[in-house]
Structure 1
Amino acid sequence: MKRRNFLYLAGMGVGATMMPDISALGKTVPLDYLPEPVDAILKKKMADIVLNAARSKGASYADVRIGRYLNQSISTRENRVQNIANTESYGMGIRVIANGCWGFASTDKLDNDSIAKATELAVQIAKVNAKLLTEPVQLASQKGYGEVSWKTPIEKNGFEIPVKEKVDLLLGVNAAAKEGGASFINSTLFLINEQKYFASTDGSYIDQDIHRIWPTFTVTKIDKSNGSFQTRDALSSPMGMGYEYMIPDENEKIKGLVTLYKKRYDMIEDAKQAAVHVGEKLQAKPVEPGKYDLVLDPTHLFLTIHESVGHPTELDRVLGYEANYAGTSFLTLDKWESKKFNFGSKQVNIVADKTQSGSLGAVGYDDEGVKCGKWDLIKDGILVNYQTIRDQAHILGLNESQGCCYADSWSSVQFQRMPNVSLQPGKAPLTSAEMIKGIDKGLYMLGRNSYSIDQQRYNFQFSSQLCYEIKAGKVVGMVRDAAYQANTQEFWNSCAGSCDEKDYRLGGSFFDGKGQPGQISAVSHGCATTKFSGVSVINTGRKI
């Protein structure tokens, strides 16, 4: 098997494992099901049963999450619908500290007696676990906010859009790709609505309504003369928005080799372009291995940020808590303590942000009732911080959590998850076209594709959906089978600058897996088109 085919198939396999069947996320409900939100007064009464019962059983701290999770996915192929799943999951998770140790229990029976019994069970679990405790939980202080609420600022609720309208859109996307010469196309639309209520003995009663959306497709074209094929996935970004994301705004159009939009998405236009691109990929010449200056579009670079910056700055990975499942991190505490670890060039400024409008990770408060904010991870190329939750903050000498706690269900234990992690754009005016003009030998890469990275998030390899060769400041044509190799520190030190904020866009991961038992979360990564100098590129199509 050729290396290129191996990496492609392996990447598809990994992608499939990270894209769950949402029918397993709750009970199936009618396609037009749209329940009224549970009254906040009722949720407060249920929460108070938990908080009072926990105290009476000896808990020093307790919190409760009452969650209703709506999930919808529509999948099509060519001119037919393959699957429609519409599910609801509703229940509560109870977390307590007793005798210095955590305990957790959950229930989907929300009568008073069942709630009280689940709370008692959580306290019992904490007390039993405490017998094995070597060090009590140190919980960062957190003020109570009283009764507050937060909502994703959507314009159109995707669950209110008739399923037929969404099906017609996907079938229209498929038709556009087929008319453009594609052999096959499948398209999917994912919608998620999390209605979450959090309360704690700190005095918070927080009601949140969170929406996310992800339209995507894969276009394939076969060369019937030799049986070879090429594919191109959608260049869409999953977003923390409503159905308005599917309505393109001509004022946001970014024109170039590929037509994109800053915050909206034209799925039909993307499918038309994809049909052309797969034909070009079949005719494209293989890349010549060597050193290149890379121009990485946000549709590609977001994934490199996710894997090489987002994951290694998770404090639980740094401490080894994720070693069994996902590995550790090369960004050990001694590097942070030195206050001078050179993560990247001075052009590299990376922030964590749980408040960014339109992002997947945007919420008002995390799943510990911490008000969310923004902070530096990498400042002028130097490692300055990590991502923490309440029982980790003391390790870094912080007085409060950074608000990075999340659970994917009421039945899951909340734990440290990645906030939005983004590379800041350049300050001087610069377009991607101007950036390309200054490159003698380079590659321009768009879209996420197969990748590999080691368990310390240090040595890696990434390829793209589209790759164009740059010679003497001009794009001269498409090439294929290109992947760049580097280690994280080497790569980010080769960063030579980014386009300005006009080019800044969000990418993201809709199903990011972590933990045992496994959970998923959604997180965005923003950046502008960015240049990296002298990066090693290999040809993945050569036989191994």
Structure 2
Amino acid sequence: MGSYSSPCIEDPFGVDKSEKMGLLEECSRIMNSDSAITSTYAQLHSERIDRVLASTEGTLVESHLIHTQPFLQAFAVHGGDAQSRSLQTGARAAGWEWIRENDLLAASERVRDEAIEKVMAPEGPSGVMDLVLDGLNLSLTMHESVGHATESDRALGWEANMAGRTFVRLSDPGSLRYGSDIVNFTADNTMPIGLASWGWDDDGTPCQKWHTVRNGIFQEFGTVRETALLVGRDASRGCCRAQDFGFFPINRQPNFYLEPSLEPVTPDDLISGIARGIFIQGRGSFSIDQNRVNFQFGGDFFREIRDGKLGGPLKKVLYGARTTEFWGACDGIADARFFQPMGLLTCGKGEPMQGARMTHGASPARFRGITVGGGVR
């Protein structure tokens, strides 16, 4: 028996609706204050989940969760082109304090201005170059190329929906080179702000923390009670979750993140080591093949890097790589001062389809020799 409650300083459901609507209206007014902006979107999302799990094996646990997310987006049009810029700080296991922390009025000005800068920018170059990717951009890349690829049901061949199975084999833990020596992925369903931190999963297994990748070497799959022994583990890692009571619980991604540098490293330090490259912020379009090997990702905002310094904005940038080659090309990560968590409210998987929530994160990181081409966004 037990109970878990996510952190919440200010209950979002206790905030008057007039305050919420006033904030959204002012954000919209600010974003629409330039004639180059043709469309805007402002949203506040809050949810309360009260969950009780009782089983015939004696489990009786409850979780009380509050998740909150702001979102802003502005579309700018110029010269026959349209581009967008967004606030993408993601969801968090937190209350209204997360909305206040984002300072949405200041964020609205930034989103407006950078949407205009983006639509007027030149298209990004094509070729092989170095990249610095911020934590919000890397959250989606790791979600698709690491998180889904290391789900045990995919490795067992039980799951092939939503972009297929995985290249990771049952014999790979402890031997597969997933990234460079500085790449460490930690799974952590005990992270207080994490959306997959429930106290217990839907098998009744306590939430845990472990290494998915350590010093570049793949360590273990995310498991549930049905799969743990089949992939060589003595017990489940507590990754069994259902969308709600009406769905069958399945193997889902945990919260996990790329560990920051233990040494003092700033984004400027990473940029200073690049002769020609691009700094990419936020998430954009993406695709990945049926084995989680070949992928292509965009972003939300792009700036040129030239001779170790940030230059002007760019648009229509995509980067592509193979999973292990990409993470193997990481040669620098900023320290924890620059860590950005990203909570995802909807990750689709299963048949019938169901959603799940989890949190990823990273500090900005540098990748050498990545193929870059043009994109729609």
CA distance in 2, matches of 1:208, 1:434: 42
Matched, 1:496 2:354: no
Matched, 1:411 2:246: yes
1:295 corresponds, among 125, 129, 132, to 132
- CA offsets 1:448-502 (integer angstroms, 9 cap, x no match): 0111111111101111110100111111111111111101011000011211111
Using the TM superposition, give the Cα deviation of residue 180 of structure 1 relative to its aligned residue in structure 2, in angstroms.
4.6
Using the TM superposition, give the Cα deviation of residue 183 of structure 1 relative to its aligned residue in structure 2, in angstroms.
2.3
- Aligned positions of 1:193-208 closer than 5 A: 193-208=48-63
Matched, 1:241 2:94: yes
SS at structure 1 position matched to 2:225: coil
SS at structure 2 position matched to 1:328: coil
SS at structure 2 position matched to 1:165: helix
Mean Cα deviation higher: 484-493 or 228-237: 228-237
Q: Is 2:224–2:236's contact at 8 Å kept on the other side of the alignment?
A: yes
In structure 2, the residue matched to 1:183 is 38
Amino acid at match of 1:432: P
Mean Cα deviation higher: 315-324 or 441-450: 315-324
Percent identity for Structure 1 against Structure 2? 33
Q: Identify if the C-alpha distance between structure 1 residues 356 and 190 changes in structure 2 by more than 3 Å, giving closer, same or farther.
A: same
Using the TM superposition, give the Cα deviation of residue 359 of structure 1 relative to its aligned residue in structure 2, in angstroms.
1.6
SS at structure 2 position matched to 1:357: coil
SS at structure 2 position matched to 1:299: helix
SS at structure 2 position matched to 1:516: coil
CA distance in 2, matches of 1:164, 1:388: 45
In structure 2, the residue matched to 1:465 is 300
- Aligned positions of 1:317-396 closer than 5 A: 317-336=154-173, 339-396=174-231
| Structure 2: tracts of 5 or more residues without a match | none
Amino acid at match of 2:108: A
CA distance in 2, matches of 1:309, 1:297: 17
Q: Is 2:163–2:291's contact at 8 Å kept on the other side of the alignment?
A: no
In structure 2, the residue matched to 1:169 is 23
* TM-score of the aligned structures, taking structure 1 as reference length: 0.67
Using the TM superposition, give the Cα deviation of residue 202 of structure 1 relative to its aligned residue in structure 2, in angstroms.
2.9
CA distance in 1, matches of 2:8, 2:376: 44
Using the TM superposition, give the Cα deviation of residue 541 of structure 1 relative to its aligned residue in structure 2, in angstroms.
5.5
CA distance in 2, matches of 1:518, 1:189: 25
SS at structure 2 position matched to 1:203: coil
- CA offsets 1:400-420 (integer angstroms, 9 cap, x no match): 211111111111111111111
Q: Is 1:240–1:361's contact at 8 Å kept on the other side of the alignment?
A: no
| Structure 1: tracts of 5 or more residues without a match | 1-146, 249-264
- CA offsets 1:362-417 (integer angstroms, 9 cap, x no match): 22111111111101111111111000011111112322211111111111111111
Amino acid at match of 1:389: V
CA distance in 1, matches of 2:233, 2:83: 50
Amino acid at match of 1:350: F
Matched, 1:273 2:110: yes
Amino acid at match of 2:87: A
Give aligned pairs, total: 376
SS at structure 1 position matched to 2:143: helix
Q: Is 2:223–2:237's contact at 8 Å kept on the other side of the alignment?
A: yes
Q: Is 1:315–1:386's contact at 8 Å kept on the other side of the alignment?
A: yes
CA distance in 2, matches of 1:244, 1:217: 17
Which of structures 1 and 2 has the bigger CA Rg? 1
CA distance in 1, matches of 2:45, 2:153: 29
- Aligned positions of 1:503-542 closer than 5 A: 503-540=338-375
Q: RMSD of the alignment, in Å?
A: 1.5
Using the TM superposition, give the Cα deviation of residue 228 of structure 1 relative to its aligned residue in structure 2, in angstroms.
2.2
Amino acid at match of 1:203: G
Amino acid at match of 1:238: A
CA distance in 2, matches of 1:330, 1:149: 38
Q: Identify if the C-alpha distance between structure 1 residues 195 and 539 changes in structure 2 by more than 3 Å, giving closer, same or farther.
A: same
CA distance in 1, matches of 2:60, 2:198: 15
Mean Cα deviation higher: 346-355 or 283-292: 283-292
Amino acid at match of 2:336: E
Amino acid at match of 1:202: E
Q: Is 1:235–1:270's contact at 8 Å kept on the other side of the alignment?
A: no
In structure 2, the residue matched to 1:423 is 258
Mean Cα deviation higher: 314-323 or 195-204: 195-204
SS at structure 2 position matched to 1:497: strand
